[in-house]
């Protein structure tokens, strides 16, 4: 089964965390830093009604990358 590639434009990044909009997967960092926090998977790993299916490790890596970029920019 073909997987859908995660793209940066599919994510919403705010001071509260990062959300992958297609799946609803959300990472909310603890105040102590961007590397630790709570992950809510939403529909990550499931085949969506649109037919898309995202690889969890790819989405999680993109979340971490975008959050670190956001934190560096807003220090």
Do 25 and 39 touch, CB atoms closer than 8 A?
yes
pTM of the model: 0.89
For residue 36, the model assigns a pLDDT of 83
What would the pLDDT profile of 18-74 be if each residue is shown by its tens digit?
A: 999 999 999 998 887 667 899 999 999 999 999 999 999 999 999 999 988 888 887
Predicted confidence at residue 34, as pLDDT, reads 64
Is 1's pLDDT higher than 70? no
String of b and e for 53-73 (b: at least 16 CB within 10 Å)? bbeeeebbebbeebbeebeee
What are the φ and ψ backbone dihedral angles of 34, each rounded to 5 degrees? -75, -15
Q: Is 50 helix (H, G, I), strand (E, B) or coil?
A: coil
* Residues paired with residue 20 on neighbouring β-strands, in sequence order: 11, 25
């Amino acid at each position: 089964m073909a997987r859908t590639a995660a793209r940066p434009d599919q994510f919403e990044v705010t001071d509260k965390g990062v959300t992958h909009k297609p799946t609803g997967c959300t990472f909310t960092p603890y105040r102590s830093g961007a590397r630790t926090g709570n992950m809510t998977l939403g529909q990550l790993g499931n085949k969506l009604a649109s037919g898309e299916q995202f690889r969890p490790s790819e989405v999680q890596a993109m979340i971490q990358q975008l959050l670190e970029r956001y934190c560096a920019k807003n220090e």
